[in-house]
Structure 1
Amino acid sequence: MASTPKTEEVLNSLRQQVSVAVHSTRELVGKVDEGAADKERERRETFEKRQEEGKTKTGETYEPLRRKPGLRPLPGTEVGLSVTLTFWDVLHHLGRGLALSQRGASRGLAEHWGSLKYCQALSAHTETQLGLSHEGNLLGLSDEGKRIAMYYKALQSEELGHAFALAVSEQILTRRYPDHSISFVRADTALRAGWTLTSRDKAKTKTVGYPYRPQFFAEVWKPGESSRVIPIACKGNHSDRQKAYEQLASAAVHADGVHIGAWNETPALLFSTEIALTDPLTVHALHADGPGGWLHIPDGTPAANIGLDLGNEHPDIGILKPGHGKDPDSSEPGCQVGPKDPKDYEWFQRVLARVGAAGLTAFAGDGESTAALLTTRQGSDFFQGFAHAASGSVQDLGYTLLGEKFEGTDHVFRLNGNRVQAFSGVAADILDSLVTREKPKRHADVAAYRQRVHVWRSKRHGTFWDRTWGGVVSISRDGTVLAMRQIPPFQDE
């Protein structure tokens, strides 16, 4: 049995640059099409069996699932055979992705700490260890990751699948749009601003009645300009390449559940992360192109309008499918922003801005400010009322890391028997624009937040070792930070 690595070895490994294999080829497109056909055949056979047994409703007919059309490999200029990442950067993306997930039991405070359970789940392997010819270290499951997979592999593959999808998406989109900011927001949280997604939402409006949606939206934006929304459908598995084909076929269904603009014009990114027990981790990726996805706002719209109240908007349910020839227009299941009402574009841009801001305040442990940015249906109640050292005043916990001041919250736990401190926070000037807990009561200045984040994107980002702080530090383009260090024995906190 392998010996347990020392805590300092774990911390140093988190900042090691590794190559993550990316598979995006024409062959992959064909395999996904085959996987989709197999799944539809299974669905049809299941329906026919239920029909024979009299378990279908009167008049019920078989309908194939709608899938995102036009899937293709990613251009080599955007992603090659591999991408270079650090494991700590991946966990940073996972923490940001979990911040509004409402999975934790501590009323929002512990949401993003779910990423830390994977500190020792992955490790770098040389090409010699894996029997492969490849330059640099490849990422794969560690011994601990393999043990975890035996008991929690569904959750582990799902969450790490989200993390790698977001990390790779950031690299793709920053190359596509080098002068723009990129925000990732949870799709369900954003959509609940206007749509009732399930009966559990307990809303008076009719539910969408369609269970398929992307997991995230990527918003590509500049202050005061029209932004572009790209749905991201992502999954993960501990199985094999065949499972990845099936997951991408399923991701095509989820990606097509939301249209931004006209029918079938919304671009999308699809991922399946294969976390095999023996082979290196591989991200299988495809995309769909299209002229849509734009949240058109009128020229000359003041940048400050992004902070206007959302109101009580309820866009129509369904996606307008244009008719052909004698066939009339029809409504397909799902959610659509525009083009019937151009005002929906500006409204949804405000939605994404508020949810993006709420993700930052939740990551910093500020529940009250998070709740103020969300509606009841989006989960504001979940983030109200919890207390923490940093929740009375954000300035109660702040650190200068790599020369920049950050404020947020921390968590102390044991890693291989040693006590470590993890700190998550946001650049002080960005967080200051969103804090609502001060007296007299303040309102979040979403326009100022967007402006400051956009300026921040040109600053230093990546994973580093901060000698002064004594630990590993990941600084993101959005002004968030995730840092961890070992606490010396008997040191007072």
Structure 2
Amino acid sequence: MADVLNGLVQTTNVSVRSNSELVGEVESAAAKDDRRREEKLGKAGPLRRKPKLSPILEGADDLQLTPWDILHTLARALTLTRRGSARGLAEHWGSLKYSHALTDEGKGLRGHMRLSAEARGIAAASYKRIQSEELGIGFGLALAEHIMRRRKPDHMVSIVHADTALRAGWALTSGDKGPRSGYQHRPLYFVEAWKPGEPSLVLPVDCRGNHGNAARSHQQLAAGTARVESVHIGPWNLTPCLMFSTELNTKRPLTVHAVQAPGTGGRLGPLSGNLDQRVEQRNNIPFIHPPTADGEPAESLPGFHIRPKDTEWFQRVLAHTAAAEAAAFSGDGKAASQYLTERQGSRYFSAFVHAATGSVRDVEWKFLGTKFVGTEHIFRSNRERVEVFSGVAESFFNLVGQGEVEQYRREVYARRSEWPDRVWWDEKWGGPVSLRRDGSVLAIRPLALCSSDCRDS
């Protein structure tokens, strides 16, 4: 087990491919899919896609990350997804099953990250599908954060689950109340660059993974051009978007293929006068509204349009959803539910949970001299029991718990340089610790190392 935990903090290169050749291959895959759909479905066949793609120049080199970086990113991303019946255990614990899945080539920084022998040996097709899907989210969002921070170095960057945010204004599935779109093409996440007192920049993000080859990634990125096209923020057809496909090849190091749809939109403003104001659930008609031409009304298109008059409301939606995620990551469903509308899952996170599966915010630890509050999970990693702690800085949680979103964001922004993203082996804790700029922490250690005096270390 010691070797596995040591591997979680080893910095390794992650290969990123983003160039004009890739853009051409994605466009070719999209054209091929459109021809197939037209032959099968006729006029209704081809999908509406982003009309112009380009490389992501900022990400066109290797990233240096640790496996624990990826799992922390994935854990935060899964927190509000309601992917299964594990509400009490917290959705983010699902990331822990990949603790043995990632490794390097045994060459430190000169090597590249790849699937471990254990992960490569999995035969069950259903598990491999979930593995590629979830690891694709982890790697894609890690690169999305990297890109946004290079573009907006003086901003904070938040990741929000797209379906959870969109449900504040639209019914997405048959289980949602309200006029349902029936439109199945949606991005997986939103990445928001924000700074107190300034408008936010929000980009739809689609991130997938596969166990195939580069050709399969081209197909996934082509499908992503239709998913990100379904959301327009601000003026019609100007929303920039990011698309990623992680190739988890069993014989070679993994590669993240990345393209973007450039644009000058995606701005949320004018600024909300008070982010603490509760988000009202809306029943928006699920259509995108192109501008009129020659005085003739334009035909509405299926999708989700945050028009200029809606951007203040959607700014609050994203801020509240991110606050709910922080609370849920700490194990406090009641605190999370106050920020969510009924369709977003307010009842889901506030409902009674059986003690055997409950996730409760009742644990405190100190890292780098700061107290963090959160929840813990004990599980077996192969044959050995380990303990995992997830939480946020106590001062941040106090604000989240009291509904003070405005002050919470100001505090997070002001203290962002105190704990830049880092992963380290904490001797007092006895294992890997990942600390993010948003004040969230994820830590793991063998259970045998636990002792009562560690809580005040």
If the length of structure 2 is used for normalisation, what is the TM-score? 0.94
Aligned residue pairs total 450
Say whether the 8 Å CA contact 1:407–1:431 is kept in structure 2. yes
Query: Which sections of structure 2, spanning at least 5 residues, go unmatched?
Result: none
- 2:369 match: 403
- 2:338 match: 372
Q: Which residue among 3, 7, 26 is the counterpart of 1:32?
A: 26
By how many angstroms is 1:259 displaced? 0.3
Cα distance in 1 for residues equivalent to 2:394 and 2:357: 13
Cα distance in 2 for residues equivalent to 1:192 and 1:393: 26
Please give the secondary structure, in 1, of the residue aligned with 2:289: strand
Deviations 1:173-209 (A, max 9, x none): 11110111111000000010011112221x1x21122
Say whether the 8 Å CA contact 1:322–1:330 is kept in structure 2. no
Please give the secondary structure, in 2, of the residue aligned with 1:477: coil
Alignment of 1:90-129 (within 5 A): 90-126=70-106
For the pair 1:262 / 2:244, whether they are aligned, the reply is no
Which region of structure 1 is more displaced relative to structure 2, 256-265 or 411-420? 411-420
By how many angstroms is 1:390 displaced? 12
Say whether the 8 Å CA contact 1:120–1:144 is kept in structure 2. yes
For the pair 1:66 / 2:48, whether they are aligned, the reply is yes
Cα distance in 1 for residues equivalent to 2:442 and 2:292: 50
Cα distance in 2 for residues equivalent to 1:490 and 1:10: 18
By how many angstroms is 1:381 displaced? 1.7
By how many angstroms is 1:226 displaced? 1.2
Say whether the 8 Å CA contact 2:279–2:341 is kept in structure 1. no
- 2:433 match: 473
1:349 to 1:189, Cα distance in 2 relative to 1, 3 A: same
Paired letter, 2:411: R
1:311 to 1:16, Cα distance in 2 relative to 1, 3 A: same
Deviations 1:293-347 (A, max 9, x none): 001115xx64xx01112224333421112244586422111000113xx2x1110
- Of the two, which has the highest radius of gyration? 1
Please give the secondary structure, in 1, of the residue aligned with 2:150: helix
Say whether the 8 Å CA contact 1:421–1:484 is kept in structure 2. yes
- 1:193 match: 168
Identity of aligned residues (%): 46
Alignment of 1:301-380 (within 5 A): 302=273, 305-324=274-293, 328-339=297-308, 342=309, 344-380=310-346
Cα distance in 2 for residues equivalent to 1:118 and 1:253: 30
For the pair 1:175 / 2:150, whether they are aligned, the reply is yes
- 2:412 match: 453
Deviations 1:26-57 (A, max 9, x none): 00000001100111111122225xxxxxxxxx
Please give the secondary structure, in 1, of the residue aligned with 2:186: coil
By how many angstroms is 1:126 displaced? 4.7
Cα distance in 2 for residues equivalent to 1:137 and 1:13: 13
By how many angstroms is 1:480 displaced? 0.5
Paired letter, 1:124: D
Say whether the 8 Å CA contact 2:269–2:312 is kept in structure 1. yes
Which region of structure 1 is more displaced relative to structure 2, 265-274 or 208-217? 208-217
Cα distance in 1 for residues equivalent to 2:137 and 2:10: 21
Cα distance in 1 for residues equivalent to 2:417 and 2:27: 40
Which region of structure 1 is more displaced relative to structure 2, 184-193 or 139-148? 139-148
- 1:131 match: none
RMSD: 2.2
1:374 to 1:406, Cα distance in 2 relative to 1, 3 A: same
Deviations 1:235-294 (A, max 9, x none): 100000000000000011101110001111000110000000101100000112111000
Say whether the 8 Å CA contact 1:367–1:386 is kept in structure 2. no
Cα distance in 2 for residues equivalent to 1:255 and 1:108: 32
1:391 to 1:46, Cα distance in 2 relative to 1, 3 A: closer
Cα distance in 1 for residues equivalent to 2:298 and 2:353: 49
Which region of structure 1 is more displaced relative to structure 2, 278-287 or 98-107? 98-107
1:209 to 1:139, Cα distance in 2 relative to 1, 3 A: same
Query: Which sections of structure 1, spanning at least 5 residues, go unmatched?
Result: 1-6, 49-60, 128-133, 436-442
Cα distance in 1 for residues equivalent to 2:451 and 2:372: 22
Paired letter, 2:147: I
Paired letter, 1:64: P
For the pair 1:278 / 2:247, whether they are aligned, the reply is no
Paired letter, 1:81: D
Which region of structure 1 is more displaced relative to structure 2, 118-127 or 267-276? 118-127
Cα distance in 1 for residues equivalent to 2:359 and 2:211: 42
- 1:433 match: 399
For the pair 1:8 / 2:2, whether they are aligned, the reply is yes
If the length of structure 1 is used for normalisation, what is the TM-score? 0.87
For the pair 1:444 / 2:403, whether they are aligned, the reply is yes
Q: Which residue among 238, 250, 265 is the counterpart of 1:292?
A: 265
By how many angstroms is 1:391 displaced? 8.3
For the pair 1:148 / 2:122, whether they are aligned, the reply is yes
- 2:219 match: 246
Cα distance in 2 for residues equivalent to 1:10 and 1:32: 37
Say whether the 8 Å CA contact 1:238–1:276 is kept in structure 2. yes
